[in-house]
Homo-oligomer: A and B are copies of this chain.
């Protein structure tokens, strides 16, 4: 007898013990059969990295009715690939990633392991949704996210997702102002301006910590940054196509 419940694959990039992942699991278990494949270590900033120089290891850490949890030494992209080709008995109906501790809006998507897992799903034609909270702290308050996350996931489970797109969902941090709702928008054109904190180790050797400031140079009203500033949950439909299409016709090297 096959399980008629939807199969939800859950991963993240803050590691298997992150409170954001635990919150997401608690919201997803009532919606279907859940398999978690998450990294033992923090994979924040790992982007779409895949592990090809080293072997991967996987450990089944929890097994209950309609629930399994695997811990790996891989990246978020590795985890989706491992799930799909090695661990799951059927294709997942949905990949849900997060809840990330910190924004993945705008340019952050390209550095994000959370969103890499979503994009990895879309490459294979599987719907994917990444959730991120605009609060970097380990003890971030996730108490206001339930309604929005469940609403978005239910809709995608019911209606599917067209054309191999995924969703990049960012949620403002808790404040005195209630969230205004959901806004579908485009990725803002912003960037990080880095600053390297230069130090000496106990042996006199110089080293650097990367730090940076987020700079939004995109004043338009239709962006994820603008929606978040206005206390909306931002939803950006995303796909993997780096082509700057209008220049395919314009460039000429002959």
Contacts and interface: CB of A to CB of B under 8 A. Distances in A.
Interface residues of A, number: 77
21 contacts: A44-B53, A47-B48, A49-B111, A52-B210, A56-B209, A57-B205, A57-B206, A85-B194, A109-B242, A110-B240, A119-B242, A123-B191, A152-B253, A155-B253, A162-B247, A163-B244, A184-B248, A237-B244, A237-B248, A239-B244, A240-B242
Contacts of A57: 205-208
A62 interface: no
Interface in A162-195: 162-163, 165, 168, 181-182, 184-187, 189, 191, 193-195
A7 B111 CA distance: 27
Interface in A223-245: 235-245
A49 B45 contact: yes
Given A111-B48, A207-B57, A252-B184, A85 B195 contact: yes
A2 to B, nearest CB: 24
A239 B237 contact: no
Given A242-B109, A242-B240, A243-B187, A81 B123 contact: no
A82 interface: yes
Query: Which 10 residue pairs across A and B have the least CB separation, nearest first?
Result: A47-B48, A237-B247, A55-B207, A182-B253, A238-B242, A237-B244, A186-B243, A239-B244, A56-B208, A47-B47
A145 interface: no
Nearest to A247: B237
Interface in A59-115: 77-78, 81-82, 84-86, 107, 109-111, 115
Nearest to A193: B85
Contact of A239 (B44, B236, B242): B242
A83 to B, nearest CB: 11
Contact of A243 (B78, B208, B237, B252): B237
A83 B198 CA distance: 14
A58 B208 CA distance: 8
